[in-house]
Amino acid sequence: MAPTKQSHTRQAITLKGSTALVTEFFKYAVNTILFQRGVYPSDDFHMVKKYGQTVLVTQDLALENYLDRILKQVSKWLLTGGVTQLVVAIISKDTRTPLERWVFDINLVDQPTTEHPSESAQAKPEAEIQAEIRSILKQIVSTVTFLPIIDEATVFNILAYTSESADIPADEWVDTDPLAIEANKSQQVKLRSFSTDVHRIEAMVAYRYDG
């Protein structure tokens, strides 16, 4: 009897696996924004290899711990569907004026219906996901070609938009000003997106333009 041939298809990524990928992306995206926009001195960053390219990551211990705490909470929200948007807001240190808002919308990918079981087997290759992430990070780097030069000291806030049912740690997160830029002084640029089998991340940047 001839041996039977078996075909193997990578299973669709799990919610836990997708959460880890998305959380890791936010880590590198925030670091890239803080470096490129000069919120922290360039000496505070070091180069690491990630997604097949070089990315810059903070070596400021206080900032690293702050981002780790935020990302742990974001990871919990992603697992429960509790977070719909993350925003990195860059604001003037002296006047508290919002200068830029980097917005990441978080959506759940529409799952294939059970009427087409063959579709559900078509898991998205991880190499493709990483290529999409790489494109977004490169695009963040390239935004320096059109974003206004920031020639003042800045600070940043991370805002999380959550569902009503989300569990909010009261000692760490508080209701806050959305740090919006006035519509008549705001320009927006849509950035690339990436998706796993579970999540889709849409990115854009809004910046103050007084021209």
The one-digit pLDDT tens for each residue of the chain (211 residues) are 555 445 445 567 899 999 999 999 999 999 999 999 999 999 999 999 999 999 999 999 999 999 999 999 999 999 999 999 999 999 999 999 999 999 999 999 976 554 454 444 578 999 999 999 999 999 999 999 999 999 999 999 999 999 888 888 877 777 788 999 999 999 999 999 999 999 999 999 999 998 6
Q: Which amino acid is at 67?
A: L
- pLDDT score of 172: 73
Domains of the chain: residue spans and CATH? 15-208 (3.30.900.10)
- pLDDT score of 177: 86
Using the Cα atoms of residue 25, residue 156, residue 39 and residue 97 in order, give the sign of their dihedral.
positive
- pLDDT score of 11: 67
Helix H, strand E, coil C: the string for the chain is: CCCCCCCCCCCCCCHHHHHHHHHHHHHHHHHHHHHHCCCCCHHHEEEEEECCEEEEEECCHHHHHHHHHHHHHHHHHHHHCCEEEEEEEEEECCCCCEEEEEEEEEEECCCCCCCCHHHHCCCCCHHHHHHHHHHHHHHHHHHHHCCCCCCCCEEEEEEEEECCCCCCCCCCCCCCCCCCCCHHHEEEEEEEEEECCCEEEEEEEEEECCC
Model pTM greater than 0.75?
A: yes
User: CA-CA distance, 47 to 52, in Å (whole number)?
Assistant: 13
Sheet of 186-195: strand order equals 154-162, 83-92, 98-108, 199-208, 186-195
